[in-house]
Amino acid sequence: MPKKGNSGSAMKCATCGSAKCPGCEPMKEEPKKPMNKKKVVDSESEQEEEKEEKKVEGPKPKKARSAYIFFCNEKRPDLDEEFKGKEAMKKLGAMWKACSEAEKQPYADLAEKDKERYERQTKEFEETGEFHDEDGNVVTEDKPKKKRSMSAKKETMGAKRKAGGKKKC
């Protein structure tokens, strides 16, 4: 004889809503909510609106860079001879922190110009679906990113392990 409540529904108290309630009214059976979390769209017009929202009409403008990023871009080539990777970034952070406001000002000016560029390009993109770069050329496509195949990734990891690199668990 099957137990009551095992057929995909949960037993809850009609008064307080708890699963086990000895003092309240008899338990009523409530169906469980479906696990499917997809958005249910009622009409075709809502489906069309949803497609239009997702549609991207080309590459978006790149975000504005901060003063720190301009600083790092200028100083990093000098540090690459002495420091690599994390050490270089730590050194750049320490150098930035040690800079006075007067030393940071040229980078802040560059960041302000870049912010204006980003706002101009974003406004243009929202109005027309495209934007112009600093040279006045219309930006139409992002540069395609190189993707490595899984076999290439595995070969790289295998070579690192053989060379004595750290294993990732």
The answer to whether 124 and 130 are in contact (CB under 8 A) is yes
Model pLDDT for residues 82-120, shown as the tens digit of each residue? 888 889 999 999 999 999 999 999 999 999 999 999 999
Which is higher by pLDDT, 74 or 47?
74
Output DSSP code: residue 27: E
Hey, which residues does 31 pair with through a beta bridge?
Answer: 9
> Which residue would you say has higher pLDDT here, 116 or 79?
116
Residue with tokens 């912010």: 115
Taking only Cα atoms into account, the Rg of the chain, rounded to an integer number of angstroms, comes to: 29
52-77: per-residue pLDDT in tens? 554 556 788 899 999 999 999 999 98
Per-residue pLDDT at 128: 85
Q: Which two three-digit tokens encode residue 166?
A: 């750290």
Which range of 2-16, 31-45, 48-62, 66-80 scores highest in mean pLDDT? It is 66-80
What's the pTM value of the predicted model, to 2 decimals?
0.51
Average pLDDT, the chain: 74
The helix/strand/coil state of 143 is coil
Helix (H, G, I), strand (E, B) or coil at 89: helix
Percent of the chain at pLDDT exceeding 70: 49
Length of the chain: 169
Residue 119 CB partners (closer than 8 Å, separation 6+): 64
Query: What pairs with residue 29 in β-bridges?
Result: 11
- Largest Cα span, the chain: 83
At residue 97, the pLDDT reads 96
130-146 pLDDT, tens digit per residue, is 888 877 778 776 555 56
Q: Which helix (H) or strand (E) holds 109?
A: helix 101-128
Within a 10 A sphere around the Cβ of 111, how many other Cβ atoms?
A: 19
Cα(56)–Cα(54) distance, rounded to whole angstroms?
6
